[in-house]
Structure 1
Amino acid sequence: MWHDNETAIDYLNFGVVADACASMLRLADGEPISIGVSGGWGAGKSSLVKMIALRLKALHEIEKSGESPNKFVVLTFNPWLYQDFESARSALLQIVGDEIVRLAKENQTIQDKVTELWRRINLLRIAQLSGEAALTLSTGIPVGALGKTFNSIVGFFSSTEKLSEAPLDPEVIGSAVNGLLKPSETFSMPSHIQAFRDTLEELLAELEITLVIFVDDLDRCLPQTAISTLESIRLLLFIRRSAFVVAADNDFIKAAVKVHFDGAGISSDVATNYFDKLIQVPLHVPRLGLNEAKAYLVLLLLEREAKAGTFTREQFQNALKLIPERLRNSWKGETINQVFLYELVGANETLQSLMNLAEGLASLLHGSSAVNANPRLMKRFLNTVYLREALSAPQGIKLDISALAKWHLLERCDESLAEVIAGQVHSDNDGRVQILADAETAAASQLGLPVQFSNNNFTRQWLQLPPALGTEDLRPLLHLSRDSGTRDFGDDNMNPDSRKLRDALRTATSGHQSLTDLMKKVGPDQTELAMIKAWQSCATFRTWRRNEDIVMLIECCKVFPLLGKKAASLLEQAPLKHVGPGIIPTLGAQQWAREVLDRWKDLNELSKQTKNAIENLGVKR
């Protein structure tokens, strides 16, 4: 199984982008810079950010050896971890302060400035809790809203026990504040923020470092936390020797800004500008092309085989080197093709089969709008496939990984077709679906597909993907996929004659004597089962406009009127917007259907023509 955490191993050909970003930070030469890494959910933002951070740390190590003038100190801030526990703004200031204290431990000459920085940080944290913009302190005692805030947070900033809700005691407060507010110091929020920024900038200059802060997982946060984080970035932004790399989904930021300013009627442009003012360099995570998608699947599969011991660690490291090199030269026509993949894995037929699978899956996962080559979705796709493989052995099921992958691909990308095929799997045909076999043969021969299959590129490619499933018993495959649908092959409670009746009802376009005789032979209970099974299996082909669509209900109720109640319940499942006026006269002649029609008449989903047809029947309320 593959975890969902970010990785610095380049499976996505992001190395070139990470190098470019690290180079921009280096060339800034101490000037403030902010870079926004934008991309949707699961696109690989966190992995790209981690790659950039590692490159900066490598530059820092070079600096230690005296070969480079760059000194980068990298901090990673994840606001999602602080959600519901502490303000993201306070948490970021705390992290920055802690790092400055750590770096200044051996430099006694700047301890006063470090103390001053902490005093400023603590005052900012208090002020944001109270919402006070400015405050004049003439006695050294906090007053107003800010003073009330001290009553609840003194214990956080000193060893003094938390005060009670009793009136404030100036002496106690003065002791608890412990120098945060100096006597007769005029507190002005703008000037205090500027003083904080000046102190931090001076410290960074004396420490001779560039502080690079990576902000990740904004799109996991609630809108309030996301905005709080961006506001805290604003406190530190554009200070010399500081840099920010912010990973965020642009659409999420727009939505968060709108929530934050709810009721202000701001436009999408204003929401976009909010983020743009914070970010100097917008960097979009590259969408995976077909080659990248194929390479990603190949590396995931080879990583798994390396852990299993069927592919050596040395071979895997070689693949990690050769695949990105080939991707960088893809513009020259060096694609990830079968020849290249076979050279990676050698003559091992099992590994060659996996390479074929990756090649077939990549095209379909890349082209499907349900996956769209999203790295996280592709990883989850493989996790589901291998989980089902793990579940198969204890149940005595032997299935090829390629078969599991082919079926799950259809479930993921064309659920309606998967349900059509699943509906044709029954015990009496040994789980084999003839229409699927016919479709696979037609696709291989470039012929027209059966009517149940859409004649589009995805369907044709899926049908051609090995192995062929139409001639196989699909019951084990569908049994393992019960997490995505209800699988019922349960015709086992039907006798051979009732199964014969079920099949006859499926194809019946009108009543006839042999059908009536068969119903009488099996009796009402078995006829009801046959009617239900036939009705369910024809659900995807029913137009709700022809009398042939409802003939099975009508004929069964003619022979056994007691089945009318069940027939009415099946009729109630109709998608009303599809029901045409043509079937109404036939239904109106059935006593069991009249109550259903009477209810339909007042429903808005029904078309005007169909309502008129019911009115013409003279159906009374």
Structure 2
Amino acid sequence: MWQDNISKNDMLGFDLHARIIIALLQEQKMLPLTLGVFGDWGSGKSSILEKIYEELKTKSFQDKGIFTIQFNGWTFEGYDDAKAALMEAIVKKIEDEFKTIEEVKSVAKRLYKSINWMRVAKVTVPMATAYFTGGASIIPQIISNLKEFKDAPQKIIDLLCSDKAEDKIKGFIKENPDTPSQESQSIREFRKDMTELLAKSNIKELVVIIDDLDRCLPERIIDNLEAIKLFLNVDNTAFIIGADPRIVESAITHRYKDKFPLNPSMSDGEDAMDKKIVRDYLEKLIQIPYNLPKLSDTEVNTYITLLFCENAFSHEEFESVYLDFLNFKEKKRYSAYDIKIIKSRLGEEIIKKLDDDCLLICQLSGLIATCLKGNPRQIKRFLNMYMLRKKIKDAAQMKDINETVLAKLMILEYKSPSLFGEIYQDLNPKTGKSSKIKKYEKAETKDLPQNWKDESTIQWLQSSPKLAEFNLLDYFWLSRDKLSSLSSLYMTDPEIRSLFIELSAPELPEPVIKKIVDEKLRILDKEKQLSFYTLLSNKIIEDPSKRGLYHLFEYTIDLETCKSSYQTTISTCGSKVPPAAKKAYERLLNPKK
């Protein structure tokens, strides 16, 4: 199985993206610059940003005067003012690196002062605005804002709660009528001092990398973007941001929903906001959006092959394969580096360690690429879940499982849980076959239900193997962690399920039932007996009117595992229990009466 970490080996051609972005950063005429590495969750943004950071930290780039700082967007999630916290952290990184230069310390102190004033302005500007516009009492607003700061002195809050608070604050504002404009002055001073700090530190270019911005809360996303905006007029600075643009746009919408005009053609709410305005706002902050492409079929095939090689081979063996892969890609960029290629280039001996899973999954790589949208993290998680379910299959001794069928069903499970559940609900409990699958696999596209008509679902239906003739009960049993809210019958151990179906057949003679009970139920270990009675109890509770099912309790009342489930079932069903079943229960559990 595979860890969900940033890989040291580039199996996806991310080095190319990193080199392109680094080349952009070295174009001085482009600075100051903000570049967004955009892609879905799990598309490889973090891997690319890590490669950029590692390259820029090498001596060759440091000798060029490029100073690189790396942050995770979560770093400032717990701060009351993430914007100020990010700005302060950048200054601190530079000060710590160049602390032997006295002038750097001096400029850094001025920058901290500007940042602290911006923190104060977050409180005082709303206060001044409220006063000058003749609004209601300004005290609640001030107290609310002050409480956002963990270091706010309690005596200030006590003063604001006193009778003299309003006069004290109004007097302060009259003495300082330009209070609101102080923030603009601090911003100008910050930019001026930041430029000087870079010069005193001999930094020719400051590069700040911020990853996982899209994992922050909406307010923190905007705070980080607002901090970056302050650097847009600071020469020789570049910000690289890794994020899912959809999440960032949603955060902008959330933050400014009261300021942006609504689109009259759309319904009420945040969705009615003009999306173009939101995108325009984002584009002003991110001058260059670098959108990561989804992996192609051949790239998915290559990626899966290399993952299996990494898992199966020793470190030395995999290194030889990886180096050969790099050489291969220089000449055949668009071709898949698969098992056949490895065999032809490195010999048959090296691939003997690869098991059938690699070949099987690679055969489905086109389907995986389409249904999982070429997402590297989703592919890796799919492979891990496939391997885990294989281990469960082996532990449960389910020898009749066709692993290609298992993989194909899992692809649908990842692609569309609702369609996966639809097939599950359609299964015949005796044959395990789906009438819908049989119909849809033969149907033309125009005859399919609307929710089965998208391109990837049609490709899934048309791919091999066809599932109509397979008993799928065991396959869904392996997926029971995703189907726990559905019918208990399908999610039970196959042996118990088969026994229950046999015993619950309609009009089964009493002697036959007792014979099956003696030969198959009584010989089970306690754990499996409990599983049987749990299933029996659930089925009775679903429909208490079925008198026949109660007999299965009555015939085995002497078993220790039976009584508690029997009691729970009767108690739960209450008045819905048929009179005959109620009398039998009272007779068996209270024989003296």
Class of the TM-score when normalised by the shorter of the 2 chains: 0.5 to 0.7
Residue 499 of structure 2 is aligned to residue 492 of structure 1: yes
Mapped to 2, the partners of 1:63 and 1:79 lie a distance apart of 25
| Counterpart among 226, 235, 247 of residue 231 in structure 1 | 226
Partner of 1:203: 197
Compared CA separation, residues 150 and 437, structure 1 to 2 (3 A): closer
Shift of 1:133: 9.4
- Name the residue aligned to 2:248: 253
Distance in 1 of aligned mates of 2:478 and 2:358: 24
Contact 2:305 2:339 in 1 (8 A): no
Partner of 1:167: 159
In the alignment, what sits opposite 1:12?
12
Q: What residue number does 1:315 align with?
A: 317
For residues 76-225 of structure 1, what are the structure 2 equivalents within 5 Å?
A: 76-131=70-125, 156=151, 163=155, 165-167=157-159, 188-209=182-203, 210-225=205-220
How many Å apart are 1:22 and its aligned residue?
0.7
Counterpart Cα distance in 2 of 1:411 and 1:483: 12
1: CA distance between counterparts of 2:438 and 2:150?
Answer: 76
Deviations 1:185-219 (A, max 9, x none): 97622121111111011110121222211122222
1:241 aligns with 2:243: no
- Per the TM alignment, residue 268 of structure 1 is displaced from its structure 2 partner at its CA by 1.1
Report if aligned partners of 1:295, 1:323 keep a CA contact under 8 Å in 2: no
In the other structure, the counterpart of 1:38 is 38
Is residue 2:281 matched to residue 1:295? no
Structure 2 residue aligned with 1:55: 55
**Gaps in structure 1 of 5+ consecutive residues:** 136-143, 169-182, 306-310, 502-518, 527-562, 567-621
Equivalent position SS for 1:34: strand
Distance 2:72 2:473 in 1: 46
**8 Å Cα contact 2:212-2:242 kept in structure 1:** yes
More displaced stretch, 23-32 vs 144-153: 144-153
The aligned residue for residue 462 of structure 1 is 464
Aligned-partner Cα distance in 2 for 1:151–1:481: 52
Distance apart, 1:57 and its partner CA = 1.5
Q: Could you tell me how far 1:242 is from its partner in structure 2?
A: 1.0
Aligned equivalents of 2:85, 2:317: Cα separation in 1: 44
CA distance in 2, matches of 1:4, 1:151: 41
Q: Does the 8 Å CA contact 1:97/1:117 hold for their aligned counterparts? A: yes
In structure 2, distance between residues paired with 1:30 and 1:434: 60
| Cα gap change, 1:8 to 1:38, in 2 (>3 Å) | farther
What displacement does 1:115 show?
1.5
Q: CA shift at 1:21, angstroms?
A: 0.2
Q: In percent, how many aligned pairs have the same letter?
A: 25
SS in 2 for 1:199: helix
Range that drifts further, 199-208 or 407-416: 407-416
* 1:366 corresponds to: 369
Q: Which deviates more from structure 2 when the two are superposed, residues 188-197 or residues 252-261? A: 252-261
SS in structure 2 opposite 1:191? helix
Q: For residues 81 and 4 of structure 1, do their structure 2 counterparts lie closer, same or farther at Cα, with a shift above 3 Å needed?
A: farther
Q: Distance in 2 between matches of 1:260 and 1:278?
A: 15
Residues 400 and 248 of structure 1: is their aligned pair in 2 closer, same or farther, counting only changes over 3 Å?
Answer: same
Secondary structure of 2:336's match? coil
**Which residue of the partner structure matches residue 180 of structure 1?**
none
1:439-458 maps to which residues of 2 (within 5 A)? 456-458=458-460
Matching residue's letter, 1:232: A
Q: Give yes or no for the alignment of 1:270 onto 2:270.
A: no
Deviations 1:521-543 (A, max 9, x none): 769xx9xxxxxxxxxxxxxxxxx
1:86-106 Cα distance to aligned partner (Å, 9 max, x none): 322122012112112202311
What one-letter code is carried by the residue in structure 2 that aligns with 1:291?
A: T
Post-superposition offset of 1:3: 3.8
Separation (CA, whole Å) in 1 of partners of 2:321 and 2:188: 52
Q: 1:418-471 CA distances to partner (integer Å, 9 max, x unpaired)?
A: 7647865767x6x7x6999999xx99xxx9xxx99999432232317xxx9967
TM-score computed with the length of structure 2 as normaliser: 0.65
| Alpha-carbon distance in 2 for matches of 1:85, 1:121 | 14
SS in 2 for 1:208: coil
CA distance in 2, matches of 1:493, 1:240: 76
Please tell me the residue identity of whatever aligns with 1:267.
D
Deviation track 1:26-74 (CA, whole Å, cap 9, x = no partner) reads 222793121111122222222222222222122xx1255xxx5x22222
Aligned residue in 2 for 1:353? 356
CA distance in 1 between counterparts of 2:66 and 2:308 reads 36
Cα pair 2:191 2:230 within 8 Å, conserved: yes
- AA aligned to 1:211 is L
Equivalences, count:
458
Taking the aligned partners of 2:544 and 2:184, their CA distance within structure 1 comes to 79
Output the CA distance in 1 between the equivalents of 2:354 and 2:83: 50
The answer to whether the 8 Å contact 2:423/2:437 transfers is: no
Inter-partner Cα distance in structure 1 for 2:113 and 2:498:
77
Q: How far apart are 1:330 and its partner, in Å?
A: 4.3
What is the identity, as a one-letter code, of the residue corresponding to 1:165?
I
Shift of the alpha carbon at 1:351?
0.7
CA distance in 1 between partners of 2:41 and 2:220 (Å): 18
For the Cα contact (< 8 Å) 1:217–1:247, is it kept in 2? yes
One-letter code aligned to 2:307: L
TM-aligned CA deviation for residue 2 of structure 1: 3.4
CA contact (8 A) 2:300 2:374 kept: yes
Q: 1:359 to 1:155 in 2, by over 3 A?
A: closer
Q: Per-residue displacement from partner, 1:233-260 (whole Å, max 9, x unpaired)? A: 1112231121101222222222222221
Compared CA separation, residues 22 and 387, structure 1 to 2 (3 A): same
Instruction: Describe the SS at the equivalent of 1:74.
Output: strand
RMSD over aligned Cα, in angstroms? 4.4
